[in-house]
Chains A and B, each alone.
Chain A
Amino acid sequence: MVRMLTTGTTTIATAVKHADVDVISAYPIRPYTGVMNELARMIADGELDAEYIVCDSEHTQFEIAKHAAACGARVFTGSAGIGWAFAHEALVVTPSDRVPVVAMVGNRALDDPGNFGVEHTDVLVTRDLGWMMCWPENPQEAYDLTLMGYKIAENPKVLLPYIVNCDGNFITHVRFPVDLPDEELAKEFLPSTPPPRHNVLHPDRPLSIAPHVDYYWGAEIRRQMDQAMKNAIEVTRKVHEEFNKIFGRGGPPFVEEIYTEGADAVLMGVGGMAMPARAALKQLRREGIKVGYVKLRRFRPFSTEDVVNALRKFKVVGVLDMDFSFGSAHTGGIIFQEVRSALYDLPDRPKVVNYIIGLGGREITVDVMRSLAKEVNEIAKTGEVKQVVKWIGLRE
């Protein structure tokens, strides 16, 4: 094991190396590019044996990854912001071809206006396609979730692509103390060769992948994807269990509760915003104010069961969205819509409010987290919601 101070792009590249990936397709766009720079260096220095393809676009990147995976190779690719959007057509067909592509997205605000900062809208606009999606809180989790990704995606009951999202700059570029395991230990968890599956393109077993279906079979094929995503919930649980056993970390698969003991109100979000939340809630707890944070580790599959079980005990949930859905119900964030919908059938459900925060990469400070925690706590006391959706730190 190596303990070091490093960035999310480096830890993900290390996970890709430990996964003994065969094909990598690269195209530059900030802030994800660092992972490809690091992988190129590893190959040049003989640390990793893989075909590294310098592509002409993101569309090409994801088409290459899809077809290489269809031929049985373990693959890695990635993008960010509008690059991810450029790949959209290839993103659509990857889940329906049932290939275990693993990709990194360095979350970035979509153009226009140009913006290097983080926003989660880039990947959330593709939430309905059949990609599994997770958000690490820090570079350590970025390594962990990447290694787990191969194991989940390649499970024959799943065979869906998987995205590791990283908050642009805050996780992709900021150094953080991490434990990187020895390659042997990583291989004990994830062997170099994926388990056999039925849909590999090879002359020994001719088959046709993705022939035209029309209305004869279209619905059945969609339903199979639905089942695969449902299966992914149980598979993810098992993989987390195994990961925890081998590495002694990894946390729960879907939802992690932070400082929730004795709290009536919680904030909830994905990715790196859990860091300032931890600091703020720790301070408040010392001051006698008990507010919790619920970290949503995985957004697809969205485990309704885990989310409901975690949230049902609170009076107020303040969902923090670093994304936005223009013109949506209550004109709010995307994660907010989903969480609120998940709680609907509870007879005694918490109030769910929404904070639009950190758009364009604006820093979410400990002070901001403190004030939001106090606000949800106040709603819990009074039972009064003045505004369902609120933009935070906005100049108006």
Chain B
Amino acid sequence: MSWDKIEIRTLKDVPKEEYFVAGHRTCQGCGPALACRYLAKAGGPRAICITATGCMYVANCSYNTTPWAIPWMHAQLGGIGSAVEGAAAAYKAMMRKGKLKKEEIHVIGLAGDGGAADIGLSAISGAMLTGHDHLIITYDNESYANTGIQASSLTPWGAWTTFTPPGKMLRLGNVRVKKDLPKMIAAGHPNVRYVATASTSFPFDLMTKIRKGLAVKGPAYVQIHTPCPKGWKYPPELTVRIGRLAVETGMWALYEIEDGQFRLTFKPPKRKPVAEYLKLQGRFAHLREPDIRYLQEQVDAACKQLGID
């Protein structure tokens, strides 16, 4: 490990150095860009980051104006699992064979929800089996935002996207239920020692999880809930508030699965109604009272199962 400690509890534990700096051209209030800043801070200067196609490629890293102060490379949309595999295997082999100085290099792979849960799922699954040291991070802004807000398998039920527009015949928008990717990875790959969920609105928790994922031997997975002003249709200044509300309402849960042990890392003292989260976002504006009631029931059941309630 290249840091003094893993746990980040207070502002004093947060490194002052920034490794994700100016140069990107993401939207105002971009949640995923915030995730980049935190993961680079947590990973530190002996990390490399590979990013699959998506907002955090196209809007984030342009020729001659890279925001990354650590080594960075592009991977294909479905290639994040393969990319970190290749990098981790390369360092491992070259260090073992004396072709490269021995040290711990943190290999981070970053993909959006489409790149991770849809097109890249197979490669991520493969990368979780081999035992190479890397951390795959999904920035989950619940749509293909880079291409103009299309539904992914992580888009929540009832959300508007350009592929799931509410209309006269199809009133609800997206009717697919959000895929539970972290649980899928944990359940399907028993040797993975660390799986966690995080939110850009809980930065200490997020950075701790990044470090835990990097420190653990073998592959690890962290999924970060990252609000998206453009895709979720809300004013950019609400990004942190909406991220927080997602957790406070139970629409998103913060947990980690460490060596198979599930643990909530944050439990809202008194869970707020989902309507408080939904009403701030234009993507849910078409939902009617019974729809919101239905969603509340679904969230209540999920929270019970997770031990939040």
Q: Indicate if A386 sits at the interface (CB-CB under 8 A).
A: no
In the bound complex, residues from chain A placing their C-beta under 8 Å from that of B61 are 208, 211-212
A137 at the binding interface (Cβ < 8 Å)? no
**Which residue of B45, B75, B90, B99 has the most chain A CB atoms within 10 A of its CB atom?**
B90
Q: Is the CB of B71 within 8 A of A63?
A: no
Q: Are A67 and B75 in contact (CB under 8 A)?
A: yes
Contact (Cβ within 8 A) B86 A57: no
When A and B form their complex, what is the total count of cross-chain residue pairs whose Cβ atoms lie within 8 Å? 162
Any chain B CB within 8 A of the CB of A114? no
Report the stretch among A69-77, A115-123, A150-158 that lies at the interface: A69-77
B187 contacts which chain A residues (CB < 8 A)?
none
Contact B126 A55 (CB under 8 A): yes
- B232 at interface, CB cutoff 8 A: no
Which residues from 176 to 224 on chain A have a C-beta closer than 8 Å to any C-beta of chain B?
A: 192-193, 201-203, 205-214, 216-217
A235 lies within 8 A of chain B by Cβ: no
Query: Quick one: given A63-B86, A201-B48, are A22 and B71 in contact (CB under 8 Å)?
Result: no
Are B85 and A53 neighbours in the complex by a CB distance under 8 Å? yes
Closest to A193 in B: B99
Cβ of A90 and Cβ of B79 under 8 Å apart? Answer: yes
| Distance, CA A22 to CA B83, complexed state (A) | 16
Known: A22-B97, A72-B100. A63 touches B47 (CB 8 A): no
> Is B267 in the interface zone, CB < 8 Å from A?
no
- Enumerate A59-94 residues with CB–CB distance to B below 8 Å: 59-61, 63-73, 75, 89-90, 93
Contact A22 B79 (CB under 8 A): no
Interface pair B76/A93, CB less than 8 Å apart: yes
Minimum C-beta distance from B22 to chain A (A) = 14
Q: Are A67 and B73 in contact (CB under 8 A)?
A: yes
A212/B73 contact (C-beta < 8 A), A60-B81, A73-B93 known? no
B99 near A49: Cβ-Cβ < 8 Å = no
Task: Tell me, yes or no, whether A23 is within 8 Å of chain B by CB.
Answer: yes
Count of residues in A whose CB is under 8 Å from the partner chain? 48
| B87 cross-chain contacts in A, Cβ below 8 A | 67-68, 70-71, 201
Query: Is A49's CB under 8 angstroms from B93's CB?
Result: yes
Instruction: Name the one of A49, A56, A65, A90 contacting B126, with C-beta atoms under 8 angstroms.
Output: A56
B57 within 8 A of A: yes
Taking the nearest CB of chain A, how far is it from the CB of B88, in angstroms?
9
Query: A67–B71 contact, CB under 8 A?
Result: no
Report yes or no: B130 in contact with A53, Cβ–Cβ below 8 A: yes
Q: Is B68 an interface residue (CB 8 A)?
A: yes
- In Å, the complex CA distance between A22 and B86 comes to 11
Q: Does B78 interact with chain A (Cβ within 8 Å)?
A: yes
CA distance A54 to B85 in the complex (A): 11
Contact in complex: B63, A73 (CB < 8 Å): no
Question: Given contacts A64-B86, A212-B61, A217-B63, is CB(A22)–CB(B93) below 8 Å?
Answer: yes
Check if B275 is an interface residue, CB within 8 A of chain A. Answer: no
Q: How many angstroms from the CA of A25 to the CA of B79 in the assembled complex?
A: 14
Give the distance in Å from the alpha carbon of A71 to the alpha carbon of B85 in the complex: 11
* B50 interface residue (CB < 8 Å to A): yes
Query: A206 contacts B69, CB within 8 Å?
Result: yes
Asked if A51 CB lies within 8 Å of chain B CBs, one says yes
Please give the distance in Å from A22's CB to the nearest CB on chain B.
4
CB pair A64 B73 closer than 8 Å: no
Minimal beta-carbon separation of B173 from chain A (angstroms): 30
- Residues of B near A64 (CB, < 8 A) are 82-83, 85-86, 89
CB-CB under 8 A for A23 and B47, given A56-B125, A213-B63? no
Cross-chain contact B72 with A208 (CB below 8 angstroms): yes
Task: Give the most central of A25, A66, A205: most B CB within 10 Å.
Answer: A66
Answer yes or no: B123 CB below 8 A from chain A CBs: yes
Is the CB of B6 closer than 8 A to any CB of chain A? no
Interface centre among A208, A209, A216 (most CB of B within 10 A): A208
Instruction: Answer yes or no: B230 CB below 8 A from chain A CBs.
Output: no
Residue of B62, B94, B100 with highest tally of chain A CB at under 10 A: B94
Nearest residue in A to B79 (C-beta to C-beta)?
Answer: A63
Q: Is B58 an interface residue (CB 8 A)?
A: yes
Could you say which of A54, A63, A207 contacts B83, with CB atoms under 8 Å apart? A63
Within 8 A of A (CB), among B25-76: 45-48, 50, 57-58, 61-66, 68-76
Complex-state Cα separation, A53 to B82, whole angstroms: 10
Q: Tell me the bound Cα distance from A320 to B47 in angstroms.
A: 52
- 1/0 per residue, CB under 8 A from B, across A208-252: the answer is 111111101100000000000000000000000000000000000
Q: C-beta contact mask, B94-117 vs A, less than 8 Å → 1, else 0?
A: 101101100001000000000000
Q: Is A284 in the interface zone, CB < 8 Å from B?
A: no
Of all chain A residues, which has the CB nearest B65?
A211
Residues of A contacting B86 in the complex (Cβ-Cβ under 8 angstroms) = 23, 25, 63-71, 75
- Contact (A203, B46) CB under 8 Å given A22-B99, A212-B58: yes
Partner of A72, one of B76, B94, B122, B123: B94
Q: Which residue of the partner chain A has the closest CB to B91?
A: A71
User: A220's closest neighbor in chain B, by CB?
Assistant: B63
- A59 adjacent to B82 (CB under 8 Å): yes
In the complex with contacts A203-B48, A206-B69, A213-B62 CB distance below 8 A: yes
- Chain B contacts for A75, CB-based, 8 A: 86, 90
A212 contacts B123, C-beta separation under 8 Å: no
Q: Which residues of A contact B89 (CB under 8 A)?
A: 22-23, 51, 53, 64, 68, 73
A206 engages B79 (CB within 8 Å)? no
Q: Which residues of chain B are near A193, meaning CB under 8 Å? A: 99
The answer to whether B62 touches A211 (Cβ under 8 A) is yes
B92 within 8 A of A: yes
How many angstroms between the C-alpha atoms of A326 and B258 in the bound complex?
Answer: 56
Of A22, A50, A209, A211, chain B has the most CB atoms within 10 Å of the CB of A211
Residues of B contacting A68 in the complex (Cβ-Cβ under 8 angstroms): 86-87, 89-90
| 5 closest Cβ pairs, A-B complex | A67-B86, A63-B82, A73-B90, A71-B90, A208-B66
Between A and B, 8 residue pairs with Cβ closer than 8 Å are A60-B123, A64-B83, A64-B89, A67-B75, A72-B99, A90-B82, A202-B71, A206-B71
